[in-house]
Amino acid sequence: MEAADFIWRNGKMVAWDEARVHVMSHALHYGSSVFEGVRSYSTPQGRVVFRLREHIRRLFDSAKIYRMKIPYSQEEMCQACRDIIQINQLQHAYIRPLVFMGVGSLALGGLQDCKTEVAVAAYEFGAYLGQQGIEDGIDACVSSWTRPTSASVPALAKAGGHYLNAQLICTEANRNGYLEGISVSGQGLVSEGSGENIFVIRDGKIYTPPLASSILGGITRDAVMKIATTLGYTVAEESIPREVLYIADEIFLTGTAAEVTPVKSVDQLDVGEGKPGPITQAIQEVFFGLFDGSQADQWGWLDRVESTTP
Ligand code: PMP
């Protein structure tokens, strides 16, 4: 990660190195934080943030699920995201809004006694799974770690503590030579990548696990479903048994960081011909075309950084 100059911290811009936390912060001990990952792009029409309002809405949803109160409005948080891009003069950036329970109590039920800390950081960011991954596809494996069920962890909340499970999935995959791990539920049904949603294609039809499969309701997932439908494909939200990963014609992962990344093998079995397939490529063309100016923003997903500040 490349440090930027400033971080937005509780309403003020502070120097990157000054954005410190106290060791007795509740979140550091118990994972009591909620956050977002948002991307900005430099386009021929200026700098834009992709689906900013949807990300900030999900931040507030995550906070509500954990009964945290964010002392700013959604519009104030959106503005902080635009401001952090401008003040740091970033072009292609990853924006990280974060709400965490600070100092005040170490009681598990003591959230109301903790200071609610809010920050928005951003830094220049390239392709999370590599430019080669976007072009040629990545090698993935099915993780030995399963996703916790919604009975124990509310997967729709993007909360810090949830990412311990994601770290186990990702680091195990990396240690074994794969770029990403795909998790399944306790029942062996496909859930998602450690930081991405998953799409599987067979016989021209696109499948993705439903929200009830312990997944995060990805904003890129939603975008891809809309793009695919507009292109005339059928997208079904259906439970996917693990072995479908081995007989799929195409698989790709979606996420703010991963964007639209094809999977070329799962557990050392080629997906289709072992390279990105035609449907994946058609979706990639529209998705990335939004940012290079070759596709019109027909869905209203691009939030301009510049036009909103005097
Ligand atoms: N699942 C998990 C666990 C994630 O961390 C992410 C990244 N936020 C996603 C899916 C993809 O979500 P989005 O497209 O909103 O970034």
Q: What is the rounded distance in angstroms from the CA atom of residue 250 to the CA atom of residue 90?
A: 34
Share of the chain above pLDDT 70, in %: 99
What tokens appear for 161 in the block? 């503590």
Look at residues 188, 168, 305, 179 and name the one whose alpha carbon lies nearest to residue 251: 179
Amino acid at 56: I
CATH 3.30.470.10 fits 6-124, yes or no: yes
Q: What is the rounded distance in angstroms from the CA atom of residue 21 to the CA atom of residue 44?
A: 38
| Segment 106-121 mean pLDDT | 96
pLDDT surpassing 80 at residue 31: yes
**Residues that are catalytic:** 158
Contact indicator for 124, 93 with CB cutoff of 8 Å: yes
∠140-143-145 over CA atoms, to 5°? 160
Domain ranges across the chain:
6-124, 131-292
What tokens appear for 144 in the block? 């030995």
Question: Hey, is 271 helix, strand or coil?
Answer: coil
Ligand 1 centroid to 36 CA: how many Å?
9
147 ligand 1 Cβ < 6 A: no
Q: What is the rounded distance in angstroms from the CA atom of residue 138 to the CA atom of residue 199?
A: 14
pTM over the 0.85 mark: yes
CB within 8 A of 2, min separation 6: which ones? Answer: 123, 124
pLDDT surpassing 70 at residue 57: yes
pLDDT surpassing 70 at residue 1: yes
CB within 8 A of 233, min separation 6: which ones? Answer: 204, 205, 206, 279
Amino acid at 92: H
197 ligand 1 Cβ < 6 A: yes
CATH 3.20.10.10 fits 131-292, yes or no: yes
Beta strand pairing call for 250-255 and 259-266 = antiparallel
216 ligand 1 Cβ < 6 A: yes
pLDDT surpassing 90 at residue 306: no
pLDDT surpassing 60 at residue 252: yes
Instruction: Read off the pLDDT band of 150 (50, 70, 90).
Output: confident
Ligand 1 centroid to 200 CA: how many Å?
17
Give the atom of ligand 1 at the shortest distance from the alpha carbon of 155.
3
In whole numbers, what is the pLDDT of the chain averaged over residues?
A: 96
Q: What is the rounded distance in angstroms from the CA atom of residue 129 to the CA atom of residue 261?
A: 8
Q: What is the pLDDT of residue 26?
A: 98
Give the atom of ligand 1 at the shortest distance from the alpha carbon of 197.
10
184-221 confidence digits (pLDDT tens): 998 999 999 999 999 999 999 999 999 999 999 999 99
| Segment 92-121 mean pLDDT | 97
| Segment 95-117 mean pLDDT | 97
Q: Which residue has the tokens 């067979």?
A: 202
Please give the biggest Cα pair distance in the chain. Answer: 56
pLDDT surpassing 90 at residue 114: yes
280 burial (CB, 10 Å; 0-12 / 13-18 / 19+) is buried
pLDDT surpassing 50 at residue 308: no
pLDDT surpassing 70 at residue 4: yes
Contact indicator for 122, 16 with CB cutoff of 8 Å: no
∠204-128-277 over CA atoms, to 5°? 20
Ligand 1 centroid to 259 CA: how many Å?
10
Instruction: Read off the pLDDT band of 16 (50, 70, 90).
Output: very high
Instruction: Read off the pLDDT band of 130 (50, 70, 90).
Output: confident
Q: What is the pLDDT of residue 142?
A: 98
